[in-house]
Structure 1
Amino acid sequence: MEKYIIRLWLLSFLVSVMAVAVMTYKWSNHSHPYEGNAHIIRNKSQLEGFLQSHRHHHDVAQFKTGHRPYPIPTAFFIQSLAFVTATDVNVTGFVWQTYPNDFPKDFEKGIVFAEQVNSADTLLTKSYELPIKRDGIQYDLVGWYFDVTVRQSFDYSHYPLDTVTVWLRLWPKQTSNDILLTPDFGAYKKTNKRTFGLDFEMVHGEWNVDETFFSYKEIPYDTNFGYYGPDPESSTSAEDYLFIDLFFNIRIHRKFIDAFIINLVPLFIVALLLFAQLLAVSRKKDLAEHVGFNITGTIATYSAVLFIILLAHIQVRSQFAGSGLVYMEYFYLIMYLKIFLSVANIFIFVLGRSRYTDIIRYRDNLIPKLLYWPVLLWMLVIPTWLIL
């Protein structure tokens, strides 16, 4: 083999390695920060600051009910988390609340999971209720064991490098402006860690936990749910319909190695098979007979490979029905295009000689062989760089 051809193959290899390096860099440095419009509460000082900044909301509640909302400290201990579907998550664990002695007797104690589905299957069992004393003040501590499936909308556009936030959104069982649920930071040993309120032996499955935190979100409902102020005929502003809901959030990211083996390894093997088939393309009769090259067999091979990729793509798509294109799907779309280009190359190669096909036929299809990996890998770099 001439030296310049060896140099061309070396150049092809180096350009391909550069593309792999670029993708590896983007994968290893990928981060998907929390983009929710909620007020994140990680400690007592942030809680006090939030309550102070929303004093006017409490004044509105006092105008309606005649007293300021009762702050009810609330905390979680999560024992398991599992995705039932792409939008439904099953969560189990304990939740408890601390009620002051002056809490109205006619108010029903308890919670409601706002996003729960299959309510008939939701389990919320009282585990304990006992009096406790904090700072010399008597309280009533009530704890429940829960098993609930909640429905949420997640952003899977970066799959398999996606990071999502699973949350438990709470309402008081007696929904009104009389009660304000607050995080009970005193129930945890350390809340300055990135994760708290989780069972150490919790099985994470295909996910890793990044952090846990409380948050508040202002929900602008378009109704007052029938709660009027002292004068029912008085005008009602938009802020009168503003409710503040408490969330417990679990920030998780997908284990890349699992998704890599499931999705990228099969695609890489398919790409190797396509390249091997391309190397077998030759107009030299003895070489073609030796490697078994013929256009009918080649098209049949490409058809089988296309069917395999199509099935794998359908499996990925079925996981995220209703979502937009996810990052991994671009790999499948690019493989479709690569198969089409490979088939087109075969047909052009076997056509009669003309000035338009000389570049393809040059040195027994050398140029398409040299460009196979650089073109494929840099095509994969484009969505990697733009999406991640």
Structure 2
Amino acid sequence: MSQNQTNKKLVSFIIALFLISLLGLVYTQICLKQNDNNRMLTTISNQKLFLATTTDKLDKKLGLMADKLDTYAMLLSTGKISMPEFESELSNEKLWLNYGIVGVGIAEVPKLRSNGRKHFHRNYWLNLTTRFESQQDSNNYTLNTQENAWFNDTLKNQKPQWSRSYYDNSLREFIFSYSAPVYDVTHKNIIAVLVVDFDSQFIDSIVSQNIGQKYTSIISRDDGAYIYTDNTDKVLNQVSLSKITNKNSIEAQTYQYINKNHCNQVCSLALSDNSEKHLILYQSLKKLPWTIFADYTTQQLGSLNRESDNSLTMLNIGFWVISLLLLVVLVNLYRMSKKRTFKTLWQLSALVSLILVCGIVYVWKISNHLYYRDTSKAIINQTILDSYIKQYDAASQLKRTESIIKIPTAIIIDSAEFLNSYNIQLSGHIMQRYPKNSEDAWGVKFNDGFDAKITQTGVQKTNRYDHVTWSFQVKIRENFDYTHYPFNHGSIWLAVSPVNQYKNLLFTPDFSYYNGLTDINAANGVARNLIIPGWYIRGSYFNYQNDSSRMVNNVNSYSAIDLPALTFNILIGATFGDAVITTVIPPMVIIMILFVTMLTISKKGNKSIEFKVNSILSASSGMLFTIVFTHVSLRNKITSAIMYIEYFYLMMYIVVPLIPINAFLFATKKFPKINFASNLYAKLLFFPVISFLLFIISLWRFA
């Protein structure tokens, strides 16, 4: 077979590989696009479900209270129950002891006194979570005050009313109210107004437990006034979307559309401003004159999806690089068919090596934006939390033990410091909300922590809760995954459980403290100024894990419930620059020195450079000891499964002995291909082969 025929077959083979690679590239690109679209649709579907759940819970909880109040107003109006009977019913109805209800009251229509002022008398029953405390007051009546708006609007409109949020001086907290008129049936006039007051945090807690506060607002259908939004100033200042001067703003466009298109199920609306696109999800409440909507940018929707299967992405990068390599080879083969020179071969070797190195660096860089931690068990809303609580409630009923007592818990990490590769010191605060008068249940302990210091720093007692704050410092031995070292993707976790192990206490995430936990990337619970040298924060979430300490104390398994420990996880990734400088550059320098050593292998003598097998053997031995020492030092610092960086060392264990072997074979002059042009083939293939192997390893390890 002639040389021309061989070359033609080689070219045909490379062209076939190039076409196959292009097909693979197109296929993976289409699959990635489809996956992105499917993930986006799944994210939108989930957010629609969260919005529908939020709307349903607001409708059920607030609507039920409103219906109850309407019933009592009717019974009082018709005289079917008296005030003492109403108070008795109120005390016996556990529904009114809901944590969101501040109290229930009835205010008489103001009467003119002898001093010329109007007074109105009010009976009020304050909710203490386990019982009502009766109060009475008589105040001067003022017409145009925010505090009396609920009363005045009911008198004016002569029908039940929902108020906006306001500060009640007597209760000393922000509330919103539902009021219903009580009539004198005989004279057909209003004689009193019945009211139920809700803590303004009640809406906050329902929203944060489901869809999250970050994106969500509730407005009045009448005038677009904010009932709820994450910016509380808008609520307290009674900002109305109908009065916004900039009609092109997203808020104004949203109000204009939903005001004309009421929707009793979740509907969507695509809008855009000058900079980015927005997706608006909205739904009208059935029992309340409100509309709830959530506003997402495209970037925010993307952040709500954390796909951890990266194999298709790495396959796509592989096809990109291989297609480019084959194209470069074809172009240079064409050049060599016109004029074959050593310079062309060196250019081809350098270009192939450069493309592969760029591919490796791109894999490192893009790995910083991919997800490698499974967060499928993250507790991001109340629905997921309820699925856990349901299991433990069933166990408590089966074993005839006391009911599960849920303790909303928030954790803030103020500082984090790595003591070594596996031990980390954390400090921060824990905020908890305990039932009233339950001091025996107070207390927090850290699972798997040592040298822990925890101090109670504050207690705030309200009519319904005891808010307890702790400050802590603890050392935790973490089981970090170093398989991607030095481009790590790990998590710092802190597991907490009750000190009192003999009560069925279950710590739960306090959604309202964090304004919702649906966005893991938001890094809720991590101080904004927290810096961990060599690492960056990628997100945070809560989950449950087995509480080994509780299992030890639960001797009687027939009456004990294995409640879990609440675990706060901080997702972290290694900073790119630090990883490259401290870990990757040293082996790269060694590879460069090995290549320079190989360049000394030559037939031509030189006064400055003299080829001797003994010299190359000595240099290679020195390099080998350096590599072994560096590798052992790394292993002493980190004990893990084979790390990514170790493949660099394992490859060098093969490359270093091959250099003196190549020099020896060259010196024997028995192998023409080795001796051709002073060991040209080995020199040309040195960087391309090493780069190709590292590229394949990188794709495999980061997939």
Q: CA deviation at 1:363?
A: 1.2
Counterpart of 1:95 in structure 2 is 430
TM-score (norm 2): 0.48
Q: Indicate how the Cα distance of structure 1 residues 339 and 254 shifts in structure 2: closer, same or farther if over 3 A, else same.
A: same
TM-score (norm 1): 0.85
Q: 2:355 aligns with which of 4, 11, 18?
A: 18
Deviation string 1:206-232 (CA, Å, 9 cap, x unpaired) is 1100001112236699778124557xx
Q: Indicate how the Cα distance of structure 1 residues 343 and 32 shifts in structure 2: closer, same or farther if over 3 A, else same.
A: farther
Distance, in Å, in 1 between the alignment partners of 2:494 and 2:623 is 44
Counterpart of 2:555 in structure 1 is 226
Q: CA deviation at 1:368?
A: 0.8
Distance, in Å, in 2 between the alignment partners of 1:100 and 1:207 is 39
Q: Does 1:33 align with 2:372?
A: yes
Match of 1:186, SS state, is: coil
Distance, in Å, in 1 between the alignment partners of 2:436 and 2:561 is 29
Distance, in Å, in 2 between the alignment partners of 1:126 and 1:209 is 28
Gaps of 5+ in 2: 1-338
**Superposition pairs of residues 210-289 of structure 1, within 5 angstroms:** 210-217=538-545, 225-227=554-556, 242-285=562-605, 287=606, 289=607
Q: Does 1:345 align with 2:671?
A: no
Q: CA deviation at 1:82?
A: 1.8
Preserved contact between residue 217 and residue 245 of structure 1 (Cα < 8 Å): yes
**Superposition pairs of residues 126-137 of structure 1, within 5 angstroms:** 126-132=456-462, 137=463
Counterpart of 1:205 in structure 2 is 533
Preserved contact between residue 306 and residue 339 of structure 1 (Cα < 8 Å): yes
Identity %: 28
Q: 1:185 aligns with which of 511, 516, 526?
A: 511
Distance, in Å, in 1 between the alignment partners of 2:494 and 2:501 is 16
Deviation string 1:100-147 (CA, Å, 9 cap, x unpaired) is 1153x5x34111111113xxx221112112313xxxx42112211111
Distance, in Å, in 1 between the alignment partners of 2:385 and 2:428 is 27
Counterpart of 1:369 in structure 2 is 683
Preserved contact between residue 216 and residue 247 of structure 1 (Cα < 8 Å): yes
Q: Indicate how the Cα distance of structure 1 residues 229 and 102 shifts in structure 2: closer, same or farther if over 3 A, else same.
A: farther
Q: CA deviation at 1:177?
A: 5.6
Distance, in Å, in 1 between the alignment partners of 2:529 and 2:551 is 43
Counterpart of 1:379 in structure 2 is 693
Counterpart residue identity of residue 333, structure 1: L
Distance, in Å, in 1 between the alignment partners of 2:589 and 2:374 is 37
Counterpart of 1:315 in structure 2 is 633
Moved more, 59-68 or 140-149: 59-68
Aligned residue-pair number:
359
Counterpart of 1:6 in structure 2 is 343
Q: CA deviation at 1:70?
A: 1.0
Preserved contact between residue 493 and residue 568 of structure 2 (Cα < 8 Å): yes
Q: Indicate how the Cα distance of structure 1 residues 189 and 55 shifts in structure 2: closer, same or farther if over 3 A, else same.
A: closer
Q: CA deviation at 1:303?
A: 2.0
Q: CA deviation at 1:328?
A: 0.4
Counterpart of 1:153 in structure 2 is 479
Q: Does 1:109 align with 2:439?
A: no
Distance, in Å, in 1 between the alignment partners of 2:695 and 2:528 is 38
Preserved contact between residue 59 and residue 68 of structure 1 (Cα < 8 Å): no
Preserved contact between residue 61 and residue 177 of structure 1 (Cα < 8 Å): no
Match of 1:142, SS state, is: strand
Q: CA deviation at 1:98?
A: 1.3
Counterpart residue identity of residue 471, structure 2: Y
Deviation string 1:123-176 (CA, Å, 9 cap, x unpaired) is 1112112313xxxx4211221111111123121101111111111111110124
Match of 2:645, SS state, is: helix
Match of 1:168, SS state, is: strand
Counterpart residue identity of residue 156, structure 1: Y
Q: Indicate how the Cα distance of structure 1 residues 336 and 28 shifts in structure 2: closer, same or farther if over 3 A, else same.
A: same
Match of 2:342, SS state, is: helix
Counterpart of 2:452 in structure 1 is 122
Q: CA deviation at 1:367?
A: 0.9
Moved more, 214-223 or 312-321: 214-223
Distance, in Å, in 2 between the alignment partners of 1:377 and 1:66 is 64
Distance, in Å, in 2 between the alignment partners of 1:190 and 1:182 is 13
Q: Does 1:302 align with 2:620?
A: yes
Counterpart residue identity of residue 34, structure 1: R
Deviation string 1:239-275 (CA, Å, 9 cap, x unpaired) is x754332111100001121121112212222111111
Distance, in Å, in 2 between the alignment partners of 1:302 and 1:214 is 52
Distance, in Å, in 1 between the alignment partners of 2:516 and 2:575 is 26
Q: Highest CA radius of gyration, 1 or 2? A: 2
